[in-house]
Structure 1
Amino acid sequence: MKIKKCSLDDILDLQKIYRQTFFETFSEQNSEENMRIFLDKAYSEEKLKSEIEDKESETFLAVEN
């Protein structure tokens, strides 16, 4: 495994991981509609792009070598 700082090229991978992890963790306690609304808002490409571009924040990804 290698830890790397995320770039804009990683947005779709991050989005997939975030959505899957959140869904697996919280879907039993929420309706399908509420899950969709939250996932679409919290993990949109625009939101992730702004987080990666934020100079006050760093996002890392573990990747297999």
Structure 2
Amino acid sequence: MRISIDEHVCIGAGQCALTSPQVFTQDEDGFGAVLTGREDGAGDPLVKEAARACPVQAITVDG
């Protein structure tokens, strides 16, 4: 699984970090970010739910 966040689309709602805090965080500007080393999702079952929870669909999950 490969996870990415489109930084040009993200509005910083924080739903990703709330839904799957083991994979997502918010950067210093308040926008969503994938934690270093967690770009593959590491089998976290909430990654796809976090992508669905994004109000602007800025998260892409391949795989």
Relative CO higher for 1 or 2, CA cutoff 8 Å, sep ≥ 6?
1
TM-score normalised by structure 1 residue count: 0.28
Larger Rg, first or second structure (1 or 2): 1
TM-score normalised by structure 2 residue count: 0.29
